[in-house]
Structure 1
Amino acid sequence: MRGLLLKLLFSLMLCLFILGTVLTAFVWYVFNYSDDRPRSSSHPIRKNPEADPSGVCKECRENTIDKMVEIHSHTWKKQEANFKKFRSQLTSRCHGATKAIVTQVNTPLESKIVYDGEKRKPLVVTPKLFSTFLKEQPFKNVTWETCAVVGNGGILLNSSCGEEIDSAHFVFRCNLPPLDKGYEKDVGNNTDLVTANPSILLEKFEGLMEHRRPFVESLSSYRDSMLLLPAFSYGHNTPVSLRALYTLQDFNSPVQPIFLNPEYLQSLARFWRAQGLRAMRLSTGLIVASLALELCTNVHIYGFWPFAQHPHDRRPLTNHYYDNRQSKKTVHAMPAEFAHLLRLHGQGVLRVHLGQCASGPR
């Protein structure tokens, strides 16, 4: 009798299993193939704007460019009241002069560094790590009269902006751009601070795991500038950033490596969200432009045009002034960032330069 009950129970379980399998297959089929049915005209298929072959998206981009050119075409004049108000808001929330760079003062021994992109994996500051930090903030109690923030956009090519950029008292550059090979007349060659994303160190210099001299030699055009590294954005950025620091020390390079403070990055992200900017991560260009607004009396922006057409004659532009390599559009909201900078341009807070340059910053 007991054996019969066990057989019946087993048969029942087998039937339920088969029925469940059939139902699962049916549900999967419905959800995966229901979209093949014709849709009514009241519910049109939403296309990916970037892949739309109809030209509608192209027209939208052209309208956006037209609007931006219209804003930029007005005679620019610095509005001191607007500048001071924006700078005060930025400084009170981000404290770039004292917090932008990791130092032994703002990041003491045995404290925990919270990664900007990995907040659940804090890093304890050991004596060895602590020794790599600057002893004090390089921007404390310093204000430059005129600063040039130089992006790498293709709009800089044939711009003749080099002399104008070099006339600034402090020059920020992004992601180790080339300053030789004839680019000097368009981008200048003076540099006081240049950033380097760890991805560049991995792609161009094997993460500094092999020959390191090419990396040091590639920095010769930046002379004794500061090299800003986002060592604490993600955990995997820390080892390669430290190797960059040790390499520069071992080769007695005049370039001074410094680390971007993740606490400052978090404050800056909150500030720009409050301004209406929605982006997964702020671009390097917007980060250094924000820092410049705290440290400089007059801020001039070059090479930040985010479109593949020139604003004035619509001729095609490469993505960078030195190549046409495309960046990841899902990470940074470049057009949206530029719109915010252009808004500040219209308010007389900073000056965005587009097209040809004629003379030094005014």
Structure 2
Amino acid sequence: MSSVRLGSSAMLKAVQRLGLGVLIITVLSLVYFILMTQSVAKLVQPRWHNSSSLIHRNASLPQLSQAMHLVTTVVPNNTTSAKKNYTDVSINSKTVTHNVSRHLQKTTPVDVVELARHFNGTWQQNDKAIAVLREELHNCCSTQEDFILTQKNIRIGMNIHYGIQKGKTFKVTSALSRMLPKTSPFSGRRFSRCSVVGNGAILSHSGCGQEIDKADYVFRCNLPPIGGKYAEDTGIRTNFTTANPISQISWIYKGLRSQQGRDKFMTDIKKYPGLLWVSAFQVKAATGISQQALRFVTQRRIRNPALVFGNPQHFINTMNYWKAHGLSNRLSTGMYMSSMALSVCDQVHLFGFWPFDKDPEDQPLAYHYYDKGKADKVHDMPQEFLKLLEWHQEGVVNVHVHKCQAGR
């Protein structure tokens, strides 16, 4: 009898254990089902059902990329090439310390109408965020002193390291040193309001000329056509203009080798008073023609514009800073000028920055405001534009993508 009782007791315990196991499995299955249901619901939810919750003041670059239908890969930010471990100027900086992949699929759709809506309303300047960013840029790059190559920041016999062609150097000669300014024209200077003008076709029929020209200082890129039929949309003033030594001085003006090329160069540059900035030491191919241009304006005693050389070390430092903040490709001239302006201007307004082939009304758009042009494949314009959107929403810069009041 005792053996029967022992057998019955063991069987009862086994059944109880089995029941407990079934119960646990059932509960786990139910939890798994609920979680999977929620995940599927999120996947099938329309992406633009509530876009305002995806793009907001503190949105990170990955969030903005997702909201704009941009395909990106987020990886931890392990960049150590910058001089310091910088803190992002975002209101919620922890959300933006990611790198966005440099490759955006060509077929990736961008809802330009939705994107443009995030530039609506009154822009509010954030002095605190601007001050933080300006301090970081000063610490990494010392723009006011080192943006331009001077007798003060180089010495005869030293090697200049090229900004793009790594490993290549140029030994400073006494002839070059004599033609450089003694100190930077930006040393100790500060401007109240600045306009940085890109060449995007978003400027066409914008009516932004007056808005651009009201600035205390105007930056322009790559000797763009100004005045005349473009005046209403792009303004007529400039204080700082960049020139590409290869695609412009070498090709358009035939390297200043012929009298015709020299005469045309001298006539054209007079349209750009102030400073004419040339990137002489980004690649070796640009150095010879840049020095030729500097000798030409020096011999002709052309003082307005004053031709100056960019400092490649400043470019390298600025590149390293932005690599640490998610911009992985080589900076475009417009983005580089925007960084420079943030260092010397209290308020920065950007015009002509819109890297898409559709305008805010979803209509076809050319590349430049003055010609069809071809899309830039060296720089990652959409990636840079996300940074500009972030800046705009934080009150760091005012990006103008809609028609200005005069053009409405």
2:189 aligned with 1:142: yes
In the alignment, which of 287, 312, 320 is matched to residue 238 of structure 1? 287
Q: Which residue in the other structure is 1:170 paired with? A: 217
2-side partners of 1:68 and 1:272: how far apart? 23
* 1:272 aligned onto 2:319: no
Q: Does 1:131 align with 2:181?
A: no
Structure 1 residue 321 and structure 2 residue 369: aligned? Answer: yes
SS at match of 1:258: strand
Contact 1:109–1:130 under 8 Å retained in 2: yes
- Paired residue type of 2:286: N
CA deviation after TM superposition for structure 1 residue 70, in Å:
3.5
Query: What residue identity is the alignment partner of 1:227?
Result: L
Deviations 1:84-133 (A, max 9, x none): 11111121111111111100000112111111122322111111111121
Q: Aligned residue for 2:230?
A: 183
Summarize the alignment of residues 17-166 of structure 1 with structure 2, pairs less than 5 Å apart. Answer: 49-50=105-106, 57=107, 60-63=108-111, 65-166=112-213
Structure 2 residue 341 is matched with structure 1 residue 292: yes
Structure 1 consecutive aligned stretches of length 4 or more whose deviation exceeds 3 Å: none
The residue correspondences of 1:251-270 to structure 2 (distance < 5 A) are: 251-253=300-302, 254-270=304-320
**1:261-294 deviations in Å (ceiling 9; x for gaps):** 0100000001111111111x21110111100000
Match runs of 1:301-316 below 5 Å: 301-311=350-360, 313-316=361-364
CA distances 1:275-320 after superposition (whole Å, capped 9, x unpaired): 11111x2111011110000000000000011111111x11211100
TM, length-normalised to structure 1? 0.80
Judge conservation of contact 2:113–2:362 (CA < 8 Å) in 1.
no
The amino acid across from 1:229 in the alignment is V
Contact 2:145 2:187 in 1 (8 A): yes
Amino acid at match of 2:280: A
CA contact (8 A) 2:147 2:314 kept: yes
Match of 1:339 in 2: 386
C-alpha displacement of 1:61? 2.5
- Alignment of 1:215 onto 2:265: yes
1:202 aligned onto 2:250: yes
Gaps of 5+ in 1: 1-47, 51-56
Are the equivalent residues in 2 in contact too, given 1:277–1:336 (CA < 8 A)?
yes
**What residue is the counterpart of 1:14 in the other structure?**
none
Identity %: 36
Would you say the 8 A contact 2:195–2:219 is kept in 1?
A: yes
Where structure 2 has 5 or more consecutive residues not aligned to the other structure, the ranges are: 1-103
Per the alignment, do residues 49 and 292 of structure 1 end up closer, same or farther by CA in structure 2, a change over 3 Å counting?
closer
Measure the CA separation in 1 of the matches of 2:146 and 2:243: 19
Aligned to 2:10: none
CA distance in 2, matches of 1:343, 1:164: 22
Report whether the alignment pairs 1:192 with 2:242.
no
- Matched letter for residue 208 of structure 2: C
Displacement of 1:66 in angstroms is 4.4
Q: Is the 8 A contact 2:116 2:401 kept in 1?
A: no
Between the aligned partners of 1:74 and 1:155, the Cα distance in structure 2 is: 18
Which residue in 2 is equivalent to 1:12?
A: none
- Equivalence map 1:344-355=2 (5 Å): 344-355=391-402
Cα distance per residue 1:150-209 (max 9 Å; x no partner)? 000001011111111111000000000001341011111111000001121122111212
How many angstroms apart in 1 are the aligned matches of 2:351 and 2:116?
A: 15
Aligned equivalents of 1:61 and 1:249: distance in 2? 50
TM-score, structure 2 normalization: 0.71
Residue 249 (structure 1) shift: 2.5
Aligned with 2:354: secondary structure? coil
Whole-Å separation in 2 of the counterparts to 1:120 and 1:137: 26
Q: Could you say what secondary structure the match of 1:73 adopts?
A: coil
CA–CA separation in structure 2 for the residues paired with 1:163 and 1:123: 43
Whose radius of gyration is greater, 1 or 2? Answer: 2
The CA distance in 2 between the partners of 1:214 and 1:174, in whole Å, is: 19
Distance in 2 (alpha carbons) for counterparts of 1:343 and 1:325: 27
User: Once the 2 structures are TM-superposed, how far is the Cα of residue 250 of structure 1 from its aligned partner?
Assistant: 3.2
Further displaced range: 263-272 or 125-134: 125-134
Aligned length: 300
Judge conservation of contact 1:248–1:255 (CA < 8 Å) in 2. no
Distance 1:113 1:68 in 2: 42
